[in-house]
Amino acid sequence: MKVKESPAGRLFDVVNVIFMLLICLTIIIPFWQQIIISISPKGEASTINLHFFTMHPTLDAYQRLFRTGTIFKAYGWTILKSLIGTVATVLFTGMMAYPLSKKQFWGRNFFMSLVVFTMFFSGGLIPKFLVVKGLRLTNTIWALIIPSMLSAWHVIITRNFFQSLPEELEESARIDGANDVDIFFKIIIPLSKPVFATITLWTVVDHWNSWFDAMIYLTGSPIIVLQGFLREMLASASQMRGTSIDDMISALETQGQNYAPESVRAAVLMLVTGPIIMVYPFLQKYFVKGLMVGSLKG
């Protein structure tokens, strides 16, 4: 039997759809404008107005970026950082969460309290920087990986997921002579693919979008990541002179090509954010699932 919807319910649906459309437009319009600016010729990109289309599209700005080679270097370091950082995060998160999920583990509540404590209190930026500097990690790729390798939130949801697994599996494995290491790598990890997949997605996105750690730890290093590259490009638009990125833009202006500095900056924005934006809609369901995974058992 079909339930007849009330006028108030229909009005709510209409208002809700209009509201959601407005939110979508506020997100899509700026992004679309940057796409158009990146393919606009010099005369159109330099004008200060909304750019919804261009009559003379050109890929000169992208071609120039590819010829410099800096973007490929930034891609390489970002992919390397994301790959190593994600593997390290998933491995060490699982190794830390597994003993904390066992009731017979001595001091489990104490160590779990320390993990939760870090979610609310931290030493701050300066002590963290001094620790990284004291370990001689500055100006190395490890400064972007080790400080963010473990997350209290990741440990909590992984621990809760481990607690939801049947204990009979481990007991039968011990009867067959398996030790804790064998059980963890041969039984727990294969059964924990949902939670590890979720953590992997979160970690990859975090590493891809991070820029602040590169800014404070890579002050005198040839290492450059995509978000740091994008930041320097956008900072040059605010009259921050003297950077290598700004020198590149100045060179572009003097070569008489059919693109403006605004097109180059928009092209960099597309190259930096494009891959993760194209992948994110296909992975959204795993992000939503990750909010629920691990909540089966407290």
Please report the pLDDT score of residue 178 as a whole number.
82
Confidence of residue 20 (pLDDT cuts 50, 70, 90): very high
* pLDDT at 223 exceeding the cut of 70: yes
> Which of 264, 260, 211, 270 has its CA nearest to residue 31?
270
The tens digit of pLDDT for each residue in 71-101 reads 888 889 999 999 999 999 999 999 999 999 8
> Which of 237, 234, 211, 236 has its CA nearest to residue 224?
211
Please report the pLDDT score of residue 215 as a whole number.
87
- Dist. CA 180–CA 98, nearest whole Å: 10
Confidence of residue 243 (pLDDT cuts 50, 70, 90): very low
Torsion of CA 264, 268, 269, 275, to 10 degrees: 140
- Dist. CA 115–CA 151, nearest whole Å: 9
Q: What is the DSSP string of the chain?
A: -PPPPPHHHHHHHHHHHHHHHHHHHHHHHHHHHHHHHHTS-HHHHTSSS--S--SS---HHHHHHHHH-HHHHHHHHHHHHHHHHHHHHHHHHHHHHHHHT-TTSTTHHHHHHHHHHHHH----HHHHHHHHHHTT-TTSGGGGTGGGS--HHHHHHHHHHHHTS-HHHHHHHHHTT--HHHHIIIIIHHHTHHHHHHHHHHHHHHHHH--HHHHHH-TT-S---HHHHHHHHHHHTTT--S-HHHHHHHHHHHTT-S--HHHHHHHHHHHHHHHHHHHHHHHHHHHHHHHHTT-S--
Mean pLDDT of 107-132: 88
* pLDDT at 297 exceeding the cut of 50: no
* pLDDT at 238 exceeding the cut of 60: no
* pLDDT at 242 exceeding the cut of 50: no
Show the tokens assigned to 282. Answer: 């296909």
- Dist. CA 158–CA 294, nearest whole Å: 6
- Dist. CA 146–CA 136, nearest whole Å: 12
- Report the chain's mean pLDDT, rounded to a whole number: 80
* pLDDT at 296 exceeding the cut of 70: no
Mean pLDDT of 276-291: 70
pLDDT above 90: percentage of residues in the chain = 13
> Which of 275, 97, 277 has its CA nearest to residue 188?
97
Query: Are 86 and 207 within 8 A, CB to CB?
Result: yes
- The domains located in the chain, with CATH, are 7-68+225-291 (no CATH), 70-219 (1.10.3720.10)
The tens digit of pLDDT for each residue in 180-221 reads 888 888 888 888 888 888 888 889 888 988 888 888 888 877
Confidence of residue 247 (pLDDT cuts 50, 70, 90): low
Please report the pLDDT score of residue 145 as a whole number.
92
Torsion of CA 69, 72, 76, 79, to 10 degrees: 160
> Which of 193, 197, 195, 172 has its CA nearest to residue 182?
172
Mean pLDDT of 217-236: 80
